[in-house]
């Protein structure tokens, strides 16, 4: 019965659209792991570190345009607790993880048996639903198939997110192998009906001084629909890098707003009558502060409330509605104001020394890449990408912008770029250290890691802690310099490592084809980085004030 039970569970998951199974090795999960490994249509990945495995699975959900459900498998006990951070990210960022945790049978729970914790409802509110299966028996086979099918539907239905299936198992744990080598092909993922055209959306689109903002959680297809409509109607669009909007270079798409919204004169001149936002809240803090008192409508679904400004209105809908909307007319002077602000900042950026070995010039060097997927760490890297990456980039940009943590970055990057032709990661030293075991999987999937080493938490140098605290307090609590030799760390994992000493050298290395994972370490100074960023802001602020006086 164990064999039939496992085959029903795994085969139904596959037939419902699950292709990838990420396995954390263990004893109690033996039948689950074997069934997934032997299924003819599955793609399995074995990672010994559960935490790394969970973030790798999180990344795998995003290898294609439409997110795909990915299954995680682990043994009983504390193994399952290591999945919690990735599950939290999946919950907030709406990524369809299906977590299969093996468990001891019911009679061994709560009696002091080894490797037993209370796994029922382990992930609490972080999952869309939690199932605790019965022990394998003939009468429950139809229920197992139901749970597998329903789990995929729950994981994919808006709001998408993680689902937990707890699987109690008695010994013996070794199933028959041959029956597990059969199975159905990967099924078609569920598609959900689009919202119909609404008068409310048309009224908003008719606002004379309208600003469209696109944030994370949009597919490239949806972003293109929005940008095409904005182009035809001459509506300015602020494009967060994770919206994929920066892949387009038109006179209505803008990238440098994080800089020009620091200028008081521009903030007034660029103020629209209404903001229409698609996707999650953008990365930019200047945008967040500026938009606080501007009437804003977010188009999406009710569970995707990404609006720290609590006065924001939610309109149930989808970008595809724009395909049926008529072209609307808008104030041309407003678009010209945004264009002027963007051009002014862009002109200042062209005057910056592009060979200076700075963190923002590392971002600008990425413009030399011809394509591929770039995963970006939270903290300073995503902010520099947001500030300095122009429109027209060929890169697909990805990041964990749900909980915005620095945990699991390397593993997420390897997963999220898994099916790309060219794979890149931009990461700081602390985030890299935090997930160094991700290098185990990186050995098998070549990725170029741009490691910004400023010996510590560089973002804190921009925050009030650095200015208001003595160095004796700031450095141990926030600077947290580690002074590690990344060459030795890389060698321990069998990874190529090189210290890059100039931007020209970085561009040369990026242009070189590679069939192995490599770390390109760029060493910078935290204090100098802050000063140079502030010097740029002074230049742009002066140029903007001069233009808009």
CA 216 to chain centre: 8
Sheet holding 97-103, edge to edge: 43-46, 20-23, 70-74, 97-103, 163-168, 129-132
Gap between the Cα atoms of 306 and 472, Å rounded? 38
Gap between the Cα atoms of 103 and 101, Å rounded? 6
Strand partners, 518: 448, 496
pLDDT band at 179 (very low <50, low <70, confident <90, very high): very high
pLDDT for 223 = 97
* Nearby residues of 252 by Cβ (< 8 Å), 6 or more positions away: 227, 230, 231, 234, 235, 236, 237, 335
Per-residue pLDDT tens digits for 40-77: 999 999 999 999 999 999 999 999 988 999 999 999 99
Indicate the range of 105-109, 192-196, 208-212 predicted with least confidence: 192-196
Mean pLDDT of 172-189: 94
pLDDT for 194 = 56
Identify the helix (H) or strand (E) that includes residue 215.
none
Sheet holding 423-428, edge to edge: 396-398, 373-376, 423-428, 448-453, 518-523, 496-500
pLDDT for 468 = 86
pLDDT band at 195 (very low <50, low <70, confident <90, very high): low
pLDDT for 316 = 83
Give the Å distances, CA to CA, from 513 to 215, 446, 448, 509. 32, 11, 10, 8
Q: Which residues of 187-213 are buried (b: 16+ CB within 10 A; e: fewer)?
A: bebeeeeebeeeeebeebbebebbbbb
Top-confidence residue, 467 or 360: 360
Sheet holding 313-316, edge to edge: 253-254, 237-239, 210-214, 274-278, 296-300, 313-316
Contact 165, 10 (CB under 8 A): no
Gap between the Cα atoms of 278 and 275, Å rounded? 10
Indicate the range of 140-144, 250-254, 470-474 predicted with least confidence: 470-474
Contacts 24+ apart (CB under 8 A), 262-270: 262/286, 262/537, 262/540, 262/541, 263/341, 263/540, 263/541, 263/544, 263/545, 263/548, 265/544, 265/545, 265/548, 265/549, 266/341, 266/544, 266/548, 269/337, 269/341, 269/548, 270/211, 270/337, 270/338, 270/341
Top-confidence residue, 115 or 310: 115
* Nearby residues of 229 by Cβ (< 8 Å), 6 or more positions away: 235, 322, 325, 327
Gap between the Cα atoms of 73 and 166, Å rounded? 10
Domains and CATH numbers, the chain: 2-171 (3.40.50.970), 199-341 (3.40.50.1220), 352-540 (3.40.50.970)
Indicate the range of 123-132, 307-316, 421-430, 493-502 predicted with least confidence: 307-316
Taking all residues of the chain, what is their mean pLDDT, rounded to a whole number? 93
pLDDT for 478 = 85
pLDDT for 73 = 98
pLDDT for 524 = 94
Evaluate if residue 193 carries a pLDDT over 60. no
pLDDT band at 305 (very low <50, low <70, confident <90, very high): low
Contact 99, 165 (CB under 8 A): yes
Evaluate if residue 10 carries a pLDDT over 60. yes
Mean pLDDT of 448-461: 90
Gap between the Cα atoms of 205 and 455, Å rounded? 48
Contact 346, 330 (CB under 8 A): no
pLDDT for 174 = 93
pLDDT for 472 = 84
**Which of these, 66, 60, 69, lies nearest to 13 by C-alpha position?**
69
pTM, to two decimals: 0.93
- Tell me whether residue 136 is exposed, middle or buried, using C-beta atoms within 10 angstroms of its C-beta: 0 to 12, 13 to 18, 19 or more: buried
């Amino acid at each position: 019965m164990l064999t039939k039970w496992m085959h029903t569970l795994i085969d139904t998951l596959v037939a419902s659209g699950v292709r990838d199974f990420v396995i954390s090795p263990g004893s109690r999960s033996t039948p689950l792991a074997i069934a997934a490994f032997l299924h003819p249509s599955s793609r399995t990945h074995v990672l010994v570190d559960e935490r790394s495995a969970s973030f790798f699975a999180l990344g795998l959900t995003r290898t294609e345009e439409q997110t795909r459900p990915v299954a995680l498998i682990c043994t009983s006990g504390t193994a399952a607790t290591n999945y919690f951070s990735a599950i939290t990210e999946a919950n907030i960022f709406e990524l369809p993880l299906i977590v299969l945790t093996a468990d001891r049978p019911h009679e061994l729970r709560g009696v002091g048996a080894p490797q037993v914790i209370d796994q029922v409802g382990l992930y609490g509110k972080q999952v869309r639903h939690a199932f605790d299966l019965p022990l394998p028996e003939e009468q429950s086979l139809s229920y197992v198939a139901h749970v597998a099918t329903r789990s995929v539907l729950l994981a994919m239905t808006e709001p998408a997110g993680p689902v937990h299936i707890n699987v109690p198992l008695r010994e013996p744990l070794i199933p028959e192998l041959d029956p597990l080598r059969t199975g159905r092909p990967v099924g078609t993922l569920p598609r959900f009906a689009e919202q119909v055209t609404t008068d409310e959306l048309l009224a908003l689109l008719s606002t004379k001084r309208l600003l469209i903002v696109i944030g994370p959680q949009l597919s490239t297809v949806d972003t293109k629909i929005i940008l095409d409509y904005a182009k035809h109607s001459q509506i300015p669009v602020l494009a967060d890098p994770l919206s994929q909007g920066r892949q387009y270079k038109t006179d209505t798409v803008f990238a440098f707003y994080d800089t020009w919204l620091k200028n008081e004169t521009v903030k007034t001149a660029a103020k629209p009558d209404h903001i229409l936002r698609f996707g999650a809240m953008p990365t930019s803090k200047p945008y967040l502060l500026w938009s606080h008192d501007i009437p804003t409508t977010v188009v999406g679904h009710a569970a995707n409330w990404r609006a720290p400004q609590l006065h924001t209105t939610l309109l149930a809908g989808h970008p595809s509605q724009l395909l049926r909307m008529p072209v609307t007319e808008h104030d041309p002077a407003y678009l010209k104001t945004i264009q002027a602000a963007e051009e002014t900042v862009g002109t200042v950026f062209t005057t910056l020394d592009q060979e200076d070995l700075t963190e923002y010039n590392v971002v600008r060097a990425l413009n030399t890449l011809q394509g591929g997927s770039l995963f970006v760490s939270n903290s300073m890297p995503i902010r520099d990408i947001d500030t300095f990456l122009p429109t027209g980039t060929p890169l697909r940009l990805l990041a964990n912008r749900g909980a915005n943590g620095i945990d699991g970055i390397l593993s997420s990057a390897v997963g999220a770029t898994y099916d790309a032709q060219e794979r890149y990661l931009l990461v700081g030293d602390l985030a890299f250290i935090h997930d160094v075991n991700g290098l185990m999987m990186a050995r098998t999937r070549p990725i170029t890691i741009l490691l910004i080493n400023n010996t510590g938490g560089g973002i804190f140098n921009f925050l009030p802690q650095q200015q208001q605290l003595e160095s004796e307090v700031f450095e141990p609590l926030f600077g947290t310099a580690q002074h590690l030799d990344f060459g030795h760390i890389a060698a321990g994992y069998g990874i190529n490592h090189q210290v890059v000493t100039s931007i020209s050298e970085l561009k040369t290395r990026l242009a070189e084809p590679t069939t192995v994972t490599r770390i390109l370490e760029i060493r910078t100074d935290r204090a100098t980085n802050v000063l140079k960023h502030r010097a740029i802001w002074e230049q742009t602020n002066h140029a903007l004030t001069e233009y808009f006086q």
